[in-house]
Amino acid sequence: MWKSREAILALAVLALLAVIASRFPAFILPGNLARVFTDTSPLIILALGQMVVILTKCIDLSVAANLALCGMIAAMLNGMGVPLPLILLIVLALGAALGAVNGLLVWKVNIPSIVVTLGTMTIYRGVIFLLTDGKWINAHQMTDGFKAFPRTSILGLPVMGWIAILTVIAVAVLVNRTPLGRAFYAVGGNPHAAVYTGISVGRTQFVAFVLSGALAGLAGYLWVARYAVAYVDIAGGFELDVVAACVIGGIAIAGGAGSVTGCLLGALFLGIVKNALPVIGISPFWQMAISGTAILIAIAFNARGQGPKGRIILKQAEHRA
Amino acid sequence: MQAQSASGTTPVLSLRGISKSFPGVRALNGVQLDLYPGQVTALIGENGAGKSTIVKILTGIYQPDEGTITVGGQDLRFPTAQAASDAGVTAIHQETVLFDELTVAENIFIGHAPRGRFGLIDTRRMEAEAARLLASIGADLSPKARLRDLGIASRHLVAIARALSVDARVVIMDEPTAALSHKEIHELYELVETLKAQGKAILFISHKFDEIFRIADRWTVFRDGQFIEDGTMAEVNEARLVQLMVGRSVDQIYPKRPSQIGKPVLTVAGYSHPTEFEDIGFTLHEGEILGFYGLVGAGRSEVMQALFGITKPSRGACRIAGQVQVIRTTAEAVEAGIVYVPEDRGRQGAVKGMPIFQNVTLPSLHRTSRAGFLRLSEEFALARDYTQRLDLRAASLDQDVGLLSGGNQQKVVIAKWLATRPRVIILDEPTKGIDIGSKAAVHDFMSELAAQGLAVIMVSSEIPEVLGMSDRVIVMREGRIAAEFAGDDMTPENLVRAAVGIEEAA
């Protein structure tokens, strides 16, 4: 079921593709679209985790640092000869643990999430530096299997893209079809009512952070393996793109409202802008301005949608609303 | 009376024919009020009589729909709070409105601080003025102290000094003693005497009769938004005031069916909380509607929230169907079969932005899911079942709860709890702020629940509702059970006496 906001966003994405195609028709060839989608996969995966956190009235600014730390650990484990499946499990668990640190501070110590994750994002980057002394791990230090996995093509789409698709499906099922998913919406929509319903607000927020962390850990491996390099500053500032994707996708910053479809479309919109502008020869500064404008337009849309509607006094108007 | 010497006989402030309506409610209907210089006038009335509305009109927060305000012989309008303040009317509110991070002097002079050169605030002069004002009311406070370091009583003194700093002619005190200790109340009385001696007219709003008889010179009674009568304290007694406050017969029709009262379901003994209530004990039976009456702030909701696991009692035990239960969380309360429909639906009840059916199934999701996945068809079936029983009017169960009227939102919240199949349902002010039609539906349904053997606790501040619906009534006052009435003892006079703390009339 598509709500009007998602439909508008889908139209915006299509319009964007049409404009690009008019100047550079090769952009919309299936092969290139698959490449753009794969390139946007880390953003999609992180944005889905971020969406769940934002639904519960929190925000996770530490996702990019979490990604970088988990990516570095993955590269180091690879150097020690740890097999790939085990590395995948470890980055998921480590990411979840880093998310749990955020969640516990929000739940048990009652610190606002923006402050908690602002702190941990710096700490996680610092830990990478302590682990490596600032040294890089380069392509020649990684095994071929480690680097090849995300790029292995299945039915024309690399594994990395497939992982993004599976994440979309899993998160969609989680938020739409499980009691936990319903709790995310209830906690963000009305925390007081959630308490009176027997839902623990803090615990639900904690779970959201763990989920966001685990997805960041997974994305960490994918990122490092695909770009075949790991260092302190990978994905620097990426957390802002992630939040931007959510906002453009109509996830309400005040919590309690938003959909997986919207989130996916928000991430795709940003991904297409990022990939297309260099191709048609527009400077990266324009790219930032376009992302920024898209965020402001999206926020204005949301604000208009959520503004006071006035009291419905006429009986027949209840049905129209 | 002694006060007559310092006071005039012409009112400094007069209200005539003041009416004020809100959507669905006529809060004030042509009321009048006179305040005399150097005298304390007590405004008396039940919860919802219109006392708070009149205070808001006097301080320029609400505009009356009709009527006149005369101050010192001039007809005035108070379009803003500033206009009321300029006319010399000032209020010390129930919950004092002050700023924690500012100093005492800054709080006193906020909005009208003395200015020095370049229009900057002249801190030295402001602090000197503040010290003078504080001394005049006998308050031993430093103007430089930060407000957050002060206790409640000191904050009141700051609020009073602030009221005096604008050279007030009329001082409104809205339940000023509610949060004060015995000694502090005594100091407040002395302060009121000081203000009287300075010729201020004081409007004193209080539920406590001992206070009113101690310091008031005159009285005015409101009931259901109407002016009833006024006079001087010398010519009235407690019994007469209670009669004027209540003064109506229970003539509305309540659909209370005689129900079969069965075995005890819930037994509470010695429930206590360090700051909210003390030694609460009662037994609730199957098929019974037990009313809890009391003034606002008597601790009724707090007791119910403890029974529902939102707060923890420090002592006391609770048995459900004969078994001792320890309830630490709301989830445990729901499991034990106790549910609570809160008073504040907007904040505590419905999740706006969520569709109706999801609101209804929120506490019952374990029943509508299989292997951890929700089954939408079962959710819809459950929601349809309970919303139909309550006669919910909505376009579809997919509709956002926030778009429903207050009465229909209330039905969604009640349906949500009934869907958990409880043994005890606690309804906190179930009909507050909803229209007459929805009220009747809620009453009807309550009665039906009791007839089906459910035990119902109804917290209500409306006497007709309490008397019309309850099998028994417990009256609470200041965190304790003041009295319990059943049968012919359930009269409006008895309830109000117990609630305000007057012994049997002599």
Q: Are A183 and A176 in contact (CB under 8 A)?
A: no
What are the CB-based long-range contacts (under 8 Å, 24+) for A189-194?
A: A189/A255, A189/A256, A189/A257, A189/B351, A189/B352, A189/B353, A189/B354, A190/A256, A190/B347, A190/B350, A190/B351, A190/B352, A191/A57, A192/B344, A192/B347, A192/B348, A193/B347, A193/B348, A193/B349, A193/B350, A193/B351, A194/B351
| Whether A178 and B372 lie within 8 Å, measured CB to CB | yes
Q: How is residue B270 written in tokens?
A: 């010695």
Average pLDDT over residues A121-131: 95
| Whether A193 and B349 lie within 8 Å, measured CB to CB | yes
| Whether A186 and B354 lie within 8 Å, measured CB to CB | yes
Burial label for B247, CB within 10 Å (0-12, 13-18, 19+), is middle
Mean of per-residue pLDDT scores for chain A: 89
Closest residue in B to A177 (Cα–Cα): B374
H/E stretch holding B24 reads none
3-state secondary structure of B89: strand
Task: Tell whether B296 is within 8 A of chain A (Cβ).
Answer: no
| Residue from A190, A204, A315 whose CB has the most chain B CBs within 10 Å, to mutate | A190
Model confidence pLDDT, tens digit, residues A224-239: 999 999 999 999 989 9
Boundary (domain end) residue, out of B225, B246, B267:
B246
Is pLDDT of B95 > 80? no
CA distance B392 to B93: 39
Q: Is residue B344 part of a domain?
A: no
Q: Is residue B162 part of a domain?
A: yes
Q: Least CB-CB distance to A196: which of B330, B393, B394?
A: B330
Quote the percentage of chain B above a pLDDT of 90.
27
Q: How many Cβ atoms sit within 10 Å of the Cβ of residue A135?
A: 11
Q: Are A280 and A20 in contact (CB under 8 A)?
A: yes
**Residues B218 and B331 placed together within one structural domain of the fold:** no
Q: What is the 3-state secondary structure (H, E, C) of B310-358?
A: CCCCCEEEEEECCEECCCCCHHHHHHHCEEEECCCHHHHHCCCCCEHHH
pLDDT band at A50 (very low <50, low <70, confident <90, very high): very high
Residues of A in contact with B372 (CB under 8 A): 178-179
**How close A186 comes to chain B (CA, Å)?**
6
Q: How many Cβ atoms sit within 10 Å of the Cβ of residue A288?
A: 13
Task: Tell whether B25 is within 8 A of chain A (Cβ).
Answer: no
pLDDT at A111: 95
Boundary (domain end) residue, out of B189, B224, B246:
B246
DSSP secondary structure letter of residue A56: T
CA distances from B412 to B305, B388, B399, B416 (A): 20, 10, 12, 6
Pick the range with the lowest mean pLDDT from A277-286, B280-289, B419-428. Answer: A277-286
**Residues B65 and B177 placed together within one structural domain of the fold:** yes
Encode burial over B357-394: b for 16+ CB neighbours within 10 A, e otherwise. bbbbbbbbbeebbeeeebeeeebbebbbebbeebebbb
Residues of A in contact with B399 (CB under 8 A): 321
Residues of A in contact with B334 (CB under 8 A): 198
Closest residue in B to A195 (Cα–Cα): B330
Rounded to the nearest 5°, which phi and psi values hold at B87?
-80, 0
Q: How is residue B322 written in tokens?
A: 């004969």
**Residues B267 and B372 placed together within one structural domain of the fold:** no
CB contact set of A201 (below 8 Å; sequence gap of 6+): A56, A187, A191, A194, A195
Residues of A in contact with B327 (CB under 8 A): none
Is pLDDT of B205 > 60? yes
CA distance A139 to A246: 32
pLDDT band at B255 (very low <50, low <70, confident <90, very high): low
Q: Least CB-CB distance to A186: which of B347, B362, B399?
A: B362
CA distances from B215 to B39, B353, B373 (A): 9, 50, 65
pLDDT band at A95 (very low <50, low <70, confident <90, very high): very high
**Residues B41 and B136 placed together within one structural domain of the fold:** yes
Is pLDDT of A77 > 80? yes
**How close A204 comes to chain B (CA, Å)?**
14
Size of interface A-B (CB pairs under 8 A): 82
pLDDT at B506: 38
**Residues B328 and B239 placed together within one structural domain of the fold:** no
| Whether A185 and B395 lie within 8 Å, measured CB to CB | no
| Whether B374 and A182 lie within 8 Å, measured CB to CB | yes
Closest residue in A to B375 (Cα–Cα): A177
| Whether A189 and B329 lie within 8 Å, measured CB to CB | no
pLDDT at B345: 67
Instruction: Assign residue B465 the CATH number of its domain.
Output: 3.40.50.300
Q: Least CB-CB distance to B358: which of A182, A196, A257?
A: A182
pLDDT at A308: 42
Mean of per-residue pLDDT scores for chain B: 84
pLDDT at B438: 67
The upper half-sphere exposure of residue A260, i.e. CA atoms within 13 Å in the direction of its Cβ, equals: 19
Nearest to A121 by CA among A216, A3, A43, A37: A216
Burial label for B263, CB within 10 Å (0-12, 13-18, 19+), is exposed
Model confidence pLDDT, tens digit, residues B11-42: 999 999 999 887 666 788 999 999 999 999 99
Average pLDDT over residues B470-482: 92
CA distance B52 to A147: 71
Burial label for B124, CB within 10 Å (0-12, 13-18, 19+), is exposed
**Residues B207 and B319 placed together within one structural domain of the fold:** no
| Whether A197 and B369 lie within 8 Å, measured CB to CB | no
pTM of the predicted model as reported, rounded to 2 decimal places: 0.75
CA distances from A4 to A1, A17, A301, B476 (A): 10, 20, 11, 52
Place of tokens 């570095």: A72
Residues of A in contact with B342 (CB under 8 A): 196
Average pLDDT over residues B278-292: 93
| Whether A193 and B372 lie within 8 Å, measured CB to CB | no
pLDDT band at B447 (very low <50, low <70, confident <90, very high): confident
**Residues B158 and B71 placed together within one structural domain of the fold:** yes
**Residues B320 and B354 placed together within one structural domain of the fold:** no
pLDDT at A124: 96
| Whether B362 and A197 lie within 8 Å, measured CB to CB | yes
Task: Tell whether B407 is within 8 A of chain A (Cβ).
Answer: no
| Residue from B334, B354, B408, B420 whose CB has the most chain A CBs within 10 Å, to mutate | B354
**How close A161 comes to chain B (CA, Å)?**
26
Question: Which residue type does A124 have?
Answer: Y
Residues of B in contact with A185 (CB under 8 A): 351, 353-354, 358
Residues of A in contact with B370 (CB under 8 A): none
| Whether A197 and B329 lie within 8 Å, measured CB to CB | no
Average pLDDT over residues B142-171: 84
3-state secondary structure of B60: coil
**Residues B355 and B231 placed together within one structural domain of the fold:** no
**Residues B172 and B302 placed together within one structural domain of the fold:** no
Question: Structural domain of residue B506, as residue ranges?
Answer: 249-337+422-506
Pick the range with the lowest mean pLDDT from A80-94, B71-85, B380-394, B437-451. Answer: B437-451
List residues of chain A with CB under 8 Å from any CB of chain B: 173, 176-179, 181-182, 185-186, 189-190, 192-200, 256-257, 309, 311-313, 318-319, 321
Q: Using DSSP, how many helices (H) and how many strands (E) does chain A show?
A: 14, 2
| Whether B373 and A178 lie within 8 Å, measured CB to CB | yes
**How close A183 comes to chain B (CA, Å)?**
8
Domain A36-302 architecture: Orthogonal Bundle (1.10)
Question: Which residue type does B201 have?
Answer: A
When computed from its CA atoms, the radius of gyration of chain B, rounded to whole angstroms, is: 26
Nearest to B86 by CA among B68, B62, B112: B112
pLDDT at B76: 87
**Residues B193 and B333 placed together within one structural domain of the fold:** no
**Residues B166 and B237 placed together within one structural domain of the fold:** yes
CA distance B100 to B147: 5
pLDDT at B405: 74
pLDDT band at A143 (very low <50, low <70, confident <90, very high): very high
Q: Is residue B343 part of a domain?
A: no
Task: Tell whether B392 is within 8 A of chain A (Cβ).
Answer: no
Task: Tell whether B371 is within 8 A of chain A (Cβ).
Answer: no
Residues of A in contact with B348 (CB under 8 A): 192-193, 195-196
3-state secondary structure of A153: strand
Domains held by chain B: number:
3
Q: How is residue B215 written in tokens?
A: 């310091």
